[in-house]
Chains A and B, each alone.
Chain A
């Protein structure tokens, strides 16, 4: 008996599958080409990176990465010749350009700032979001609907619309250019998303689980910790990725509010300037490294992410 015949009302037809496949492949190509371009550029030499017509095949070089992580000074060939043998790949690469490495660049500290601020704010947003979502889901909160709408309303404008008031507030409060300030800001932006997403997930968990645990001798908090949280992990993971992606990629506030010690990678990367203009291989190298944590996180949690995206589409 053939249930998968062309007349099936459930299974998609071969034609619609082919059309869908073509669209997906085309979309994937469009999205992935810029990434591949950046990845390739990060391994080019500065002249190759601005060659016209663009070079598809080229001699790979680590110059971009060397320049990203170091600051260099120009020296006379006589001085460079007077030095001993090169101590590493980067040393050798920069000497060819009549330069010596003067010290580490600011990239690593900026990258670490990004990690601290993005993960810190994600943790805060998910933590607060989970507790509030649980509260909204299980208790009779007075004006719950209005409060939830109010929480959601903070997302109805682009966050940058409040950039100037926040800039002034942060300056008064001494939060400008601090990691704490950025964590607070990203948490505030993300917590509304976290509450709404997580409320949906927690609503789906029958309250009998906590009730059973509470009858069996646990306090509400213990019951929440031992029975609700383990079942909400999918939702929490999905929410965490969304929050992390936002905080990690955020450029506008970071550019406005951080300039020195707390500067994150997004505003830093475009400021990498080489001799005689933008050092494109170094910018590309910075971007490539910047992509890695999100890439790893997303691949690890892709199933949860997918569930987060399709959330609400399928109800039992």
Chain B
């Protein structure tokens, strides 16, 4: 097991820059998730760590060793592919034992290691089956088995649950995390699914257009999104934005949104006058007729314990998550009260979060560029 350190990593395919200047550290034994929409560069980053693509610039260190230009087979890593890449001409046993065969391990030892691994993944009854007849979840387990059998320095997984049914997916999310808790292997996991990322990760890097927008724990990313992109990408429904103008000065405690004064966490930096946005998670909105911030009910989405209410305001539709018991009719006018302690403030131009009281307990979290 080892730490993975990525420094100023860059990859360009001709004119297209897939990854720009990525920096992050995955600590030994950590479950690290790279999250982002398709085409954001997360898979390219993973493939560079694996040695399947060579970077245009930057460095990759595995356990302190510079492996940037090393061949994949010299890196001692394991990779789980989205489509598993199980060899159809081999049975389960041979598939799992394949990496050991490359090391020239004696047959008896391979057998023992394969059986031990299969037991760990509860697929020991499938060892002599052909891989083509396996169900999705079992294929996934075989692919995992092939990865862990060699006890490599780290695991890289490229959307390994992407092709599974929802039902299997929830099960495998749980199993993967449980497996990680048992073997404590440094893992880099790529996905576009925020649910997978939030439920499994120790750390998440949110990527967009080849740039790491934010690097942090799931909690940091949800509570203190570093950019409007992260705020919008994480959460379901995503964070609401209400626009407002004017600058902010250090120590400010309120902003004016649509003529209503809204208390915000104390601002810790000066911001020159510009287009700004107030970010509010749906669950931090309450209905309160005393509030000056008003809107009309546009529609509701009943979810059992809560409901998502779309409210049309002067600045577009915002969504609130409120208890399911509240009776609401489309067209009703309501006042919106915001939970001041949990609000984020963004500069619209750059999309970056303004430093406020909510950042006090932690570092800003945004991946350090430069």
Contact = CB atoms under 8 A, between A and B. Distances in A.
Which of A216, A218, A230, A231 gathers most chain B CB within 10 Å? A216
A48 to B, nearest CB: 54
B358 interface: no
Contacts of A251: none
A201 to B, nearest CB: 14
A277 interface: no
Interface in A199-244: 206, 208-209, 211-219, 222, 227, 230-231
B78 interface: yes
Given A211-B52, A211-B72, A216 B85 contact: no
Given A214-B72, A215-B51, A208 B102 contact: no
Interface string B141-180: 0000010001000000000000000000000000000000
A213 to B, nearest CB: 7
Interface in B77-116: 77-79, 81, 83, 85, 87-89, 98-99, 102-103
A209 B85 contact: yes
B72 A215 contact: yes
Which of A212, A214, A215 gathers most chain B CB within 10 Å? A215
Nearest to A213: B98
Contacts of A214: 52, 71-73
Given A211-B52, A230-B89, A216 B99 contact: yes
Contact of B79 (A206, A212, A222, A230): A212
Contact of A215 (B79, B83, B103): B79
A230 B87 CA distance: 9
A230 B81 CA distance: 20
Interface residues of B, number: 22
Given A206-B83, A208-B81, A216 B88 contact: no
B81 A212 contact: yes
B50 interface: yes
A211 B85 CA distance: 9
A222 B102 CA distance: 9
A217 B102 contact: yes
Nearest to B149: A216
A213 B73 CA distance: 8
Nearest to B76: A217
Contacts of A227: 87
Contact residues of A: prevailing secondary structure? helix
A27 to B, nearest CB: 36
Contacts of B52: 211, 214-215
B78 A215 contact: yes
Contacts of A218: 73, 102
A217 B103 CA distance: 7
A208 B50 CA distance: 12
B102 A216 contact: yes
Given A217-B99, A217-B102, A230-B89, A211 B79 contact: yes
B113 to A, nearest CB: 14
Contacts of A217: 73, 99, 102-103, 150
B85 A208 contact: yes
A180 B336 CA distance: 89
A215 B89 contact: no
A136 to B, nearest CB: 19
Interface in B34-68: 50-52
Contacts of B73: 214-219
A216 B89 contact: no
Contacts of B98: 213, 216
B78 A216 contact: yes
Contacts of B78: 215-216
A212 B88 CA distance: 13
A216 B105 CA distance: 13
A219 B71 CA distance: 9
Nearest to A217: B102
A215 B87 contact: no
Interface in B163-207: none
Nearest to B77: A215
Contacts of B79: 211-212, 215
Contacts of B146: 212, 216
A-B residue pairs, 3 tightest by C-beta: A217-B102, A216-B99, A208-B85
30 contacts: A208-B81, A208-B85, A209-B85, A209-B87, A211-B50, A211-B72, A212-B79, A212-B81, A212-B85, A212-B146, A214-B52, A214-B72, A215-B50, A215-B52, A215-B72, A215-B73, A215-B75, A215-B77, A215-B78, A216-B78, A216-B146, A217-B102, A217-B103, A217-B150, A218-B73, A219-B73, A222-B102, A230-B87, A230-B89, A231-B89
